[in-house]
Structure 1
Amino acid sequence: MSPTNQNRKPLYIAICTQKGGAGKSVFTTLVASYLHYQRGYNVAVMDCDYPQWSIYKMRQREAEQIERNSFYQNKAEVFFSKLNKLTYPIVPSQPEAGLQQAKEFLSQEKHIYDVVLFDLPGTVNNESVVQTYFSMDYLFVPITTSRINMESTLPFMISVNEMITMNQGNIKLRSIHPFWNMVASKEKQELYDYYEKAILELGIPIMQTRIPKSVRYDREQSIEGNDYLFLSTIFPPDKPLLKGSNLDLLVEEIITIVNN
């Protein structure tokens, strides 16, 4: 994957979970913003997580705040004059229509996109959503050591990986990659070692990057608009908050995986 490569179709990527609150939409937003604003890729987001449409609604909320807030107006003016391109598009869609709507969107766009990130429903409850998962190029899964998280996520990853392994050419999905999220500094290393061994024995490659537990991952635009922000569809994470977040390491690892 190289920025604005005109000779290939965009990669379809989903950051997915089978448990609410595990970071699916947050990481979709952060990865999209980092790739688009920091790494020079052209990104589009398909928000298929109906009826929440949290990413699409975040963009609307941020745009309204910019209109009312001089701090964000100045920030946007300075940032986009240097960036020399627009914000990435966010297209709301019903889950079962996401693939077709993405195809239609891309066919109508003048811009060439490198990556389309899909925010998909956490629960695979119908055949069309299952088909959408297997129509991605890559799946990335935030996981934690909590038993509840593992009990919902492991069966999902096992099923997906088995389908990839058995693939006879009828699915597009290349691989699934879990990564540790909300890692507490005092959490026992033995627990991670235990789960990593189990996951690797299943033939699922676990990512090296670990995302620390941090309130910065929830820091959006404020009403006052006079502080650093991390989670945004219009701006990349501010450097003081990016440091130590490991988000940059996660994105670089994703780039490495999709380029192999």
Structure 2
Amino acid sequence: MKDPKFVAFSTQKGGAGKTTMTVLMASYLYYVKGLKILVVDCDYPQFSIEEMRKRDSTLLEINDSFRKAVMENRRRTGLEPYPLLMVKPEDAMLKVREIIEAGNEIDVVFFDLPGTVNNRGVVNIINCMDSVIVPIAADKVILESSLAFALKIQEWLTTGKSQVKEMYLLWNQVDAREKTDLYDQYEELFEELGLQTLKTKIPDTKKYRREGSKTLDRPVFRSTVMPPDKTLLKGSRLPELAEEILSLLKS
């Protein structure tokens, strides 16, 4: 990519999947697709991705199968773990600009933001995004909260208060038993509200939360130090989502 693209999976409702999607997309694009990635953890004060990186580091010391998988990935790709910047929202863009201007080659910067738009630092970050992706689910609480968040950004866009280039809703935690026309009806409403929805829908599957274990020898899906295990990618729709996002960023 010619210039770094700024992307945030963002919503104000916990449990919607923004941090999980940030980590999985960053890991897939970096370790599998070979893009140069920077992840910025602005999720103050919990810094969820930084905590995930710490858990991965601990597992490297105590779990032989996890360490073997990570070392094999490094041997095959020649890649060390992607850089992770932990910073408060109000300082994030300055730090990122410093990294870019120092000559570091970066294709995509992913931002993990706090679940609020009542923070000036968060607003400033959102204003700089090429794409804001809002995870939604067919759950009343998550849907109402995420939709309110998206509509607030949409209001900023239409009134000229934000410079966000694109915003999309992303169906997450999709239950295969739900009727397809339910989502079609929702998307008709979203379109009436001027909101765009990504074509890819992410299924409700436990594999999205599958991290390394201190005691179990098992494939890992969500990690900051290696890609999702190939055996778990089938049916996850993660590769399809990655291709759709890349297509949007390159357009």
Shorter-chain TM-score tier: over 0.9
Question: Runs of 5+ in structure 2 lacking a partner?
Answer: none
Secondary structure of the residue that 2:85 maps to in structure 1?
strand
1:5 equivalent in structure 2: none
CA–CA distance in 1 between the matches of 2:67 and 2:184? 47
| Counterpart selection for 2:41 from 42, 47, 72 | 47
Q: What is the CA distance between 1:212 and its match in structure 2?
A: 0.6
Report the Cα offset of residue 225 of structure 1: 4.8
Aligned pairs, how many?
251
1:213 to 195, 199, 204: 204
- Partner of 2:72: helix, strand, or coil? helix
Q: 1:257 and 1:26 mapped to 2: Cα distance? A: 20
Kindly report which structure 2 residues correspond to 1:1-260, keeping only aligned pairs within 5 A, or say none: 2=1, 8-108=2-102, 111-167=104-160, 171-260=162-251
- Separation in structure 1 between the aligned mates of residue 45 and residue 120 of structure 2, nearest angstrom: 18
CA distance in 1, matches of 2:138, 2:63: 40
CA distance in 2, matches of 1:148, 1:63: 35
- The answer as to whether partners of 2:22 and 2:112 remain within 8 angstroms in 1 is yes
SS at match of 1:183: coil
CA contact (8 A) 1:161 1:175 kept: no
Q: 1:80–1:86: 8 Å Cα contact kept in structure 2?
A: yes
Give the Cα separation in 2 of the matches to 1:249 and 1:54.
Answer: 25
What TM-score comes out, normalization by structure 2 length? 0.94
Q: CA deviation at 1:28?
A: 0.3
Segment of structure 1 superposing worse, 81-90 or 64-73: 64-73
Question: Residues 115-143 of structure 1: CA distance to partner in whole angstroms, max 9, x if unpaired?
Answer: 11000011112222212111111101110
Unaligned runs of 5+ in 1: 3-7
String of CA shifts for 1:9-61, please: whole Å, max 9, x gaps.
31110001120111010000000000101111000100000111111111111
Secondary structure, aligned partner of 2:172 = strand
2-structure distance, mates of 1:146, 1:177:
18
Counterpart amino acid of 1:174?
K
Contact 2:62 / 2:214 at 8 angstroms: preserved in 1?
Answer: no
- Asked if 2 retains the 8 angstrom alpha-carbon contact of 1:17 and 1:24, the reply is yes
2:243 & 2:83 partners in 1: Cα distance? 22
Q: How far apart in 1 are the matches of 2:144 and 2:72?
A: 46
Identity fraction in percent: 39
Q: For 2:107, give the aligned amino acid.
A: D
TM-score normalised by L of structure 1: 0.91
In the alignment, the residues of structure 2 paired with residue 107 and residue 55 of structure 1 have an alpha-carbon distance, to the nearest angstrom, of 24
